[in-house]
Structure 1
Amino acid sequence: MQCNICEVRCEINKHSMGRCGTYVSTGNKITQYPGMGYLGAYPISIEAVPLHHFYPSGKFLQIFSTGCNFQCPGCMARMPASSRPPSQQSSLSPSEIVKRVLQQECLGVVSAINDPVANYYLFRDLAVQAQEKNLLVGCSTNCYFTSETLEEFGQLVDFVNVGIKGYSDRGYKNCGVTSSTPVFRNISRLFDMGVHVETSVAYSKGNEDDVIKVAEAVSDISSTIPLHVMRFLPFGYAPIELEPSVGEAEKICSALHRYLDFVYLFNSPGTKLLNTYCPECGNLLIEREFYRPFGSRLVKPWVSHKCSCGYSIPVQGKASTEGFSEAGLIDSYSISQAFSMVHAVLTCLGVLDDYKLMDIWGEDKLMDVWSKVSNPKTLTQIHYMIRQPYSYLEFIRFIAEKANMPKKGEELVSFIHKRLKIVQNLSAGKSSYYVYYCMGSPFFALNAGRMENNLVTFSGGVSINKQLQKEGKLGVSVSPSFINEHNPGVIFVSGFLSRPLDEFYALCQKYEIHVDAVTQHRVYEIPPSWDFGSPRWILGLMYIADKLHPGKLEVDLKKEADDFYLQFYGMRFKEARPNRSFHRPSSGIWPHTQTLYNDLKMEMPKQGSTKNFDNEIIQPFNILPALISSSKDDRKGVKPQ
């Protein structure tokens, strides 16, 4: 039977569960996989979806399950999106979700992380039960529904954030589907149906024209629809060269204001473009601060939506007078991040084949981790384990035990422990430097208790971040006066969300940050994933120690990096093309995937021309992920679309 939920229109039969991998045929109709439910349910602030013009600071219960109809390269939620359906014992039913919404006094429920397209019948049951309790219902979605399904879907939801892959068909073909047309058609129809619609689009270097066309297309529907610009972060196979700087992203957002009244910039700590400005007079109406790559939070409650010039901002629903802050790793981005950190350890243990990784994840061994990661207590436990150098070793042992690879786990622990002792002996003499650790901007300080600041203190430095009283996800905004008053002699810029040093120094000059680290050019950008998220932090620790104790570490950092990469990735550091991935050391072809790469290359005449295959293989939206996904579908008996 043909599935008509989305425009992929998979054939569902006894041999195929479709692209989503979550549907079955009972002979005369298509249903959800038996016993399928939701894997997690956590309260979040609505800005985490993100939505900026719907019940500001409202508390919603975020839910997620598995499956997706898209196969996007570099997807941050790839683990849950591509996992097999959960068993009834490890998931939550719609009635249990509604019960939690009421118990936790949330305004409603929002489906995120994986797309509700993959769980449509489950989501429909939930929406109906939620509406009966007068609860709000919404989701993040690629909105690739068929017209017939959208008519029903529009009656089920109060709000959506539609993730747009681009205006041209190319972006959609890179995700394994054919066209952008259904998405813009569906956005228009949802808007006409009275659903609150906000949109998101990724901006990478080279797709400026496409992003502008997205803004034009959205403005044709309504210029009041907010557009959230996601500064592209290269994960998976994507090379870091495609990541625009924060400054470049701010420039394109300014260009988009020619078409849309409200444009917001994400993945950019310290930017002012999370704020809402009056489209008529330009007045600052509400201030937000960076709270996570895909989220923000209000600095103060948004009580009035009317500007002094008389313009009324189209915001739906009453704003909460008290903002809700998620603890630890409990929110959509942080949950995905937690899986990425587990993935990073597994990679170092030798689980390099994605098929094997998914098999391990689905077995009781790591399904135990998966179900525990869905448990707030374990999320809290992991949150604290990854914040200190020695407790991180226990995190490695925890994952190694679940993967039944204790010996490999101890090899990794031993490598890190030996170098911890070297730095610990060096730092016994302390460093004379006061140290400031920021992310992306000099005005965004990492939280005092984060791993990065603990690496500084472990190395003997004095972290001025420890003076911060306020906390937020990743960090908090600070003023130039805070930096100047503490006068750090060294500034480290996070390896996860960074900013080119020329932009960094320019901002310091513009806002008169005249500390020793700036005037004496001791601002250092940590290599990607060398200070958080991956066991590679041990290399970051040695890098930090070397800067805080010049000439005293007596360790060849290049050799240390080569040793780590050879032992745990099977490649030299100098051969790696780094990006923002926690688990991947390179955006190119790993040695262990070379055979697969060669096999695919041999198959290319059947698929199309082999011209430029070697160059295209490392592009962010390349053919390799789609071919791998097709191979995986064939393994499962899924008919490739």
Structure 2
Amino acid sequence: MQCNVCEVRCEIDKHSMGRCGTYVSTGNTVIQYPDMGYLGALPVSIEAVPLLHFYPSGKFLQVFSTGCNFQCPGCMARMPASSRPSVQQASLRPSKIVEKALQQECLGVISAINDPVANYYLFRDLAVQAQEKSLLVGCSTNCYFTSETLEEFGQLVNFVNVGIKGYSDRSYRNCGVNSSAPVFRNISRLFDMGVHVETSVVYSKGNEDDVIKVAEAVSEISSNIPLHVMRFLPFGYAPIELEPSVGDAEKICSGLRRYLDFIYLFNSPGTELLNTYCPECGSLLIEREFHRPFGSRLVKPWVSHTCSCGGSIPVQGKASTESFNETGFMDSYSISQDFSMVHAVLTCLGVRDDYKLMDVWGEDKLMDVWSKVSDSKTLTQIHNMIRQPYSYLEFIRFIAEIANMPEKGEELVSFIHKRLKIVQNLSAGKSSYNVYYCMGSPLFALNAGRMENNLVTFSGGVSINKQLQKEGKLGVNVSPSFINKHNPGVIFVSGFLSRPLDEFYALCQKYGIHADAVTQHRVYEIPPSWDFGSPRWILGLLYIADKLHPGKLGVDLRKEADDFYLQFYGMRFKEARPNRSFHRPSSGIWPHTQTLYNDLKIEIPKQGSTKNFGNEIIQPFNILPASKIKLKG
């Protein structure tokens, strides 16, 4: 039987569940995997999806499941997207979701993280039941539906955020499908059907022309459709060289205003391009701040959608007078991040090939870990464990116990514990420096209770971030006067989302920041994932301690990095090509799998081409994932 949910049109039979891995054949028709339900349902602000022109600050119940019809390199949600359904998912059926949404006084339900294309029949049941209770229904989707499915889908949803991979067919082939045409066709049709549509596109170095063409194509449908530019964050195999700086992203966004009235920039802490400006006169109408990757939050409620010049902003629905802010790890991005941090520990325990994670470790065990870390109580427990150096050791033991790898867990704990003692002895003398920890922009301060600031205090530094009363998901905007008043002698820029130091110093000059750390050039960019999200934070701690106690640490940082990478990743530090992944130390292929690719001819399905890679490292942006590659000879 052919599945007609999306344009991939997989053949489903007793031997195949299709690309999504969530559909089965009855012999006469294709249905959802029996007893499939949702993995989680958590309240979020609508800006977290993100949607910025639909019921501003509204509280929605976000749901997610497993499976995806795309195979995008660098996907942040690869674990839920690649996993297969399990009977453990049956607990959250559509009726339960609707009941929960009503109990928590949500305006509606949103499907996100994995694509509803993979759970279409489940999503359809949810949408019908939600509409019966007057709940709004929407989703974040790649919108690769067939025309026949889209006609039904358009009747089920009130709003969508369509993630556009690019304008060219090549950008879609990189995700394992053939063409971009169905996506633009479907956006146009949904808009004509009266669905509220917002769009997103990823901007990476080298695809500037593609992003511009996306804006042009969307403008031909309507110049009022918001376009969210997602500054590319290299995860998985993606090299960090593909990541544009925040400054580069801001420049391209400014140019896109020629085509569309509302351009927003995400993944860029401190940017002013999350704000809404009047397209008529350019006045600032509503201010937002970075809340996390892919998300934002309103600084104050958006009450009026009309500018003083008379221009009106197309916003659908009534704005909430109070913003709903998710707490702890109770939201979609945080769940994806949470699983990434679990994956980071598993990697250090020996599960090193993320593309073959389920083959190496076993689907059942993966789902077992998933089920045990996806409930709200456990997520809160994890959130607390990863905030302090010593409690992080309990996080490692927790994951190692679930994975039945306690000896490997203790090996990692022992390595970290030994280095903690070194820093603890050093910090007994305290540091003379006030320390400021920011992310991306000098005006975006990391929250006081985050691991990064706790690494500073553990090293003997005085964290000025601890003076902040306001909290956000990752951090909050601060004024130049806050920084100047506390005069940090050292500034650290987060290893998760950073900005080139030349841009950073230029912004300090622009904002009038003249703290000692700036004037004396003691601003340091932490290596990616060396301060949060991965056990590599122990190397970040050593790096921080060395800067706060110059010449006193007594250890060779390069040797420490080599020892860690060799023991837990099977490679030397100098062999690593860092990116933003928590679980991967390198954007290249693991050394222990590299020989598999040497001197092989590789056939790309549906493209019929072969290439002898010799001893080159494969660039996965030009091929399908390893599971779809046929090796010849």
TM range (shorter): over 0.9
Contact 1:84 1:362 in 2 (8 A): no
Give the letter aligned to residue 618 of structure 1.
Q
Give the letter aligned to residue 611 of structure 2.
T
Question: Aligned partners of 2:599, 2:151: CA distance in 1, in Å?
Answer: 44
Deviation (angstroms), 1:616: 7.1
Contact 2:130 2:137 in 1 (8 A): yes
Contact 2:353 2:590 in 1 (8 A): no
Question: Aligned partners of 1:459, 1:391: CA distance in 2, in Å?
Answer: 16
Match of 2:187 in 1: 187
Match of 2:525 in 1: 525
Q: 164-173 or 607-616, which moves further after superposition?
A: 607-616
Match runs of 1:95-110 below 5 Å = 95-110=95-110
1:609 aligns with 2:606: no
Contact 1:73 1:622 in 2 (8 A): no
Match of 1:637 in 2: none
Match of 1:639 in 2: none
Question: Aligned partners of 1:358, 1:602: CA distance in 2, in Å?
Answer: 23
Question: Aligned partners of 2:76, 2:230: CA distance in 1, in Å?
Answer: 13
Q: 197-206 or 80-89, which moves further after superposition?
A: 80-89
SS at 1:327 equivalent: coil
Match runs of 1:9-158 below 5 Å = 9-87=9-87, 91-158=91-158
SS at 2:538 equivalent: helix
Deviation (angstroms), 1:367: 2.8
Match of 1:167 in 2: 167
- CA change 1:29–1:220 in 2 (3 A) is same
Question: Aligned partners of 1:473, 1:250: CA distance in 2, in Å?
Answer: 22
Match of 1:578 in 2: 578
Question: Aligned partners of 2:166, 2:602: CA distance in 1, in Å?
Answer: 31
Question: Aligned partners of 2:504, 2:474: CA distance in 1, in Å?
Answer: 19
Match of 1:437 in 2: 437
- CA change 1:68–1:195 in 2 (3 A) is same
Deviation (angstroms), 1:555: 0.5
Question: Aligned partners of 2:554, 2:182: CA distance in 1, in Å?
Answer: 60
Match runs of 1:378-389 below 5 Å = 378-389=378-389
Question: Aligned partners of 1:599, 1:105: CA distance in 2, in Å?
Answer: 59
Give the letter aligned to residue 499 of structure 1.
R
- CA change 1:91–1:618 in 2 (3 A) is farther
Contact 1:146 1:182 in 2 (8 A): yes
Question: Aligned partners of 1:510, 1:29: CA distance in 2, in Å?
Answer: 63
- CA change 1:108–1:599 in 2 (3 A) is farther
Q: 346-355 or 76-85, which moves further after superposition?
A: 346-355
- CA change 1:164–1:306 in 2 (3 A) is same
1:618 aligns with 2:619: yes
After superposition, what is the alpha-carbon deviation per residue over 1:314-366, rounded to whole angstroms, capped at 9, x for unaligned?
00000001111111112111110001000000000001234663257765544
Question: Aligned partners of 1:506, 1:172: CA distance in 2, in Å?
Answer: 37
Match runs of 1:309-458 below 5 Å = 309-354=309-354, 357-358=357-358, 365-458=365-458
Deviation (angstroms), 1:464: 0.2
Match runs of 1:253-332 below 5 Å = 253-332=253-332
Deviation (angstroms), 1:291: 0.3
SS at 1:163 equivalent: strand
Q: 481-490 or 356-365, which moves further after superposition?
A: 356-365
- CA change 1:629–1:112 in 2 (3 A) is farther
Match of 1:213 in 2: 213
Give the letter aligned to residue 32 of structure 1.
Q
Give the letter aligned to residue 134 of structure 1.
S
Question: Aligned partners of 1:146, 1:138: CA distance in 2, in Å?
Answer: 18
Question: Aligned partners of 2:44, 2:284: CA distance in 1, in Å?
Answer: 26
Deviation (angstroms), 1:618: 3.0
Contact 1:289 1:476 in 2 (8 A): yes
Match of 2:627 in 1: 628
After superposition, what is the alpha-carbon deviation per residue over 1:280-318, rounded to whole angstroms, capped at 9, x for unaligned?
100000000000011000000000000111111000000
Question: Aligned partners of 1:211, 1:614: CA distance in 2, in Å?
Answer: 33
Question: Aligned partners of 1:422, 1:630: CA distance in 2, in Å?
Answer: 47
Contact 1:40 1:91 in 2 (8 A): no
Deviation (angstroms), 1:610: 1.4
Give the letter aligned to residue 279 of structure 1.
P
Deviation (angstroms), 1:587: 0.6
Deviation (angstroms), 1:371: 1.5
SS at 2:484 equivalent: helix
Give the letter aligned to residue 34 of structure 1.
P
Deviation (angstroms), 1:126: 0.4
- List alignment gaps of at least 5 residues for structure 2: none
Question: Aligned partners of 1:343, 1:86: CA distance in 2, in Å?
Answer: 19
TM-score by length of 2: 0.97
Match of 2:485 in 1: 485
- List alignment gaps of at least 5 residues for structure 1: 633-641
After superposition, what is the alpha-carbon deviation per residue over 1:187-220, rounded to whole angstroms, capped at 9, x for unaligned?
0000000000000000000000000000000000
After superposition, what is the alpha-carbon deviation per residue over 1:7-36, rounded to whole angstroms, capped at 9, x for unaligned?
000000111100000000001011000110
Deviation (angstroms), 1:566: 0.4
Contact 1:43 1:59 in 2 (8 A): yes
Contact 1:439 1:497 in 2 (8 A): yes
Deviation (angstroms), 1:593: 1.7
1:224 aligns with 2:215: no
Question: Aligned partners of 2:314, 2:301: CA distance in 1, in Å?
Answer: 16
SS at 1:109 equivalent: strand
Deviation (angstroms), 1:467: 0.2
Give the letter aligned to residue 284 of structure 2.
L
Contact 1:352 1:592 in 2 (8 A): no
Contact 1:366 1:402 in 2 (8 A): no
Contact 2:40 2:374 in 1 (8 A): yes
Contact 2:598 2:616 in 1 (8 A): no
TM-score by length of 1: 0.96
Question: Aligned partners of 1:89, 1:77: CA distance in 2, in Å?
Answer: 17
Structure with more contact order per residue of length (Cα contacts < 8 Å, sep ≥ 6): 1
After superposition, what is the alpha-carbon deviation per residue over 1:223-259, rounded to whole angstroms, capped at 9, x for unaligned?
0000000000011111111100000000000000000
Deviation (angstroms), 1:600: 5.4
| Ranges of 4+ aligned residues in structure 1 off by more than 3 Å | 88-91, 353-356, 359-366, 598-607, 611-616, 629-632
Give the letter aligned to residue 332 of structure 2.
S
Match of 1:202 in 2: 202
SS at 2:528 equivalent: coil
Deviation (angstroms), 1:69: 0.3
1:460 aligns with 2:464: no
Question: Aligned partners of 1:611, 1:245: CA distance in 2, in Å?
Answer: 34
Give the letter aligned to residue 16 of structure 2.
S
Contact 2:494 2:525 in 1 (8 A): yes
Contact 1:344 1:534 in 2 (8 A): yes
- CA change 1:17–1:148 in 2 (3 A) is same
Question: Aligned partners of 2:333, 2:256: CA distance in 1, in Å?
Answer: 26
- CA change 1:604–1:52 in 2 (3 A) is closer
SS at 1:594 equivalent: helix
Question: Aligned partners of 1:181, 1:602: CA distance in 2, in Å?
Answer: 28
- CA change 1:609–1:364 in 2 (3 A) is closer
Give the letter aligned to residue 118 of structure 1.
A
Give the letter aligned to residue 306 of structure 1.
T
Give the letter aligned to residue 627 of structure 1.
A
